[in-house]
Amino acid sequence: MKEIDQKHNKVLIISDLHGLMQEFLEFLQYIKETYNDTIAYAIHLGDFWKGRNVINGVKTYNFCKDPSILKDLPFILFLLKGNEDINIPESFYHVDNLFVLPHLEIFYLNGFKTIPIHYFENTKKQLKLLGIEKIVRLPRNKVKNINKRNDNKFKPLFDYITKSNNNSNQNQIQNIFNDPIPIDFILTHIPPFGLLNKTRDAITHNEIRFTGNRLVRLIIDKRRPKIVFFGHNHHMNYLKFEDMLIIALDKLVRKSSEIKYIEKVRKSNDIEKNLFNYVIIEQCAKTTLVKMVKLNRLIATYDLKSQQIIK
């Protein structure tokens, strides 16, 4: 890893802005005041330009149609494309300090070796383009206990069968699977199958299970990264097992009125507030600290060197 810039020693991870650009500008000001201009760059995990939000208990659809609002970003912002970003014009990404991460290619961010994964449908057609005939389940493993935080034993679930077409895409995925250099982070919009891939409906709060992607899980099984970051499910949580940490990020912006436990303690005349969910990766002299912030409150810190959660 390259020498740490002692001033700009933090990386910001966020997800699912869903087009709330004015709130994003407020968040940038909050980050500037909270971290005193020490952010080297930020990574957004998908669904940046548009998407569904719940405002005052009502589902709304927000769409930023003026990317120039981002012309004065205080640091470089790297984007993954989520399902809501698929049809966004490429011109939206031609803004200073805004860059799209490469899909399924090794990418170095401040010395961290990463695999970025954009949103994609895990269909036979998409797998065929990657030279994968089939993703097969390993029969000796079960998925039912993996979402329990006290189950800390790594359990690979999948392997794959290749096609013999030997195209460039197949070579690309083979390089991802077989590269001997360890991976630091997997950055993905969609959750991996069987790992924190539960969420709740925004209105009914009914539980939705197994929203995860098999190919993302296969890459994790093959590469064993230090940390996996994903968004999409609109729920913040983390899972530690063996030498890996899985972090699910909630939507970046939550209105105070849509948070159930806040609603119970709010006074009727309280002003609506924007609350933020994000992760800060802080590179220190002897270790790296991963700080998970939910609704403006630090909920846990992970020491990357010792692989320990610090509550």
The domain ranges of the chain are 10-310
Judged by average pLDDT, the poorest of 37-41, 42-46, 108-112, 166-170 is 166-170
Lowest mean pLDDT among 54-63, 86-95, 246-255, 274-283: 54-63
Interval 194-205 mean pLDDT: 68
**Cα–Cα distance for residue pair 76/97, rounded to 1 Å:** 4
- Within 10 angstroms of residue 206's Cβ, the number of other Cβ atoms is 8
| Choice between 73 and 265, residue whose per-residue pLDDT is larger | 73
Is 1 a residue whose pLDDT tops 50? no
Please answer whether residues 81 and 189 qualify as being in contact, where contact means their C-beta atoms are separated by less than 8 angstroms.
yes
Q: How far apart are CA 165 and CA 174, in angstroms?
A: 13
Judge contact between 14 and 39, C-beta under 8 A: no
Which pTM does this prediction carry? 0.88
Band (201; pLDDT cuts 50, 70, 90): low
Task: Please state, for a pLDDT cut of 90, what percent of the chain lies above it.
Answer: 57
- Is residue 115 over pLDDT 90? yes
pLDDT category of residue 288 using cuts at 50, 70 and 90: very high
CA atoms within 13 A on the CB side of 54: 15
Look up residue 195 and give its DSSP letter. S
- Residue 130, phi-psi category: left (phi > 0), alpha (psi -120 to 50), beta (remainder): alpha
What's the rounded mean pLDDT across residues 123-148?
Answer: 74
Structure tokens that stand for 77 in this block: 């912002």
Which whole number is the average pLDDT over 184-211?
77
Residue 147 in tokens:
């979402």
Whether 47 contacts 88, CB under 8 Å = no
* SS3 call for 279: strand
Beta-sheet strand order (sheet of 227-230): 107-109, 112-117, 185-188, 227-230, 244-248, 237-241
The residue type found at 117 is I
β-pair partners for 59: 54
Question: Please, what is the average pLDDT of the chain?
Answer: 85
Residues 10-310, CATH architecture: 4-Layer Sandwich (3.60)
pLDDT for residue 305 is more than 80: yes
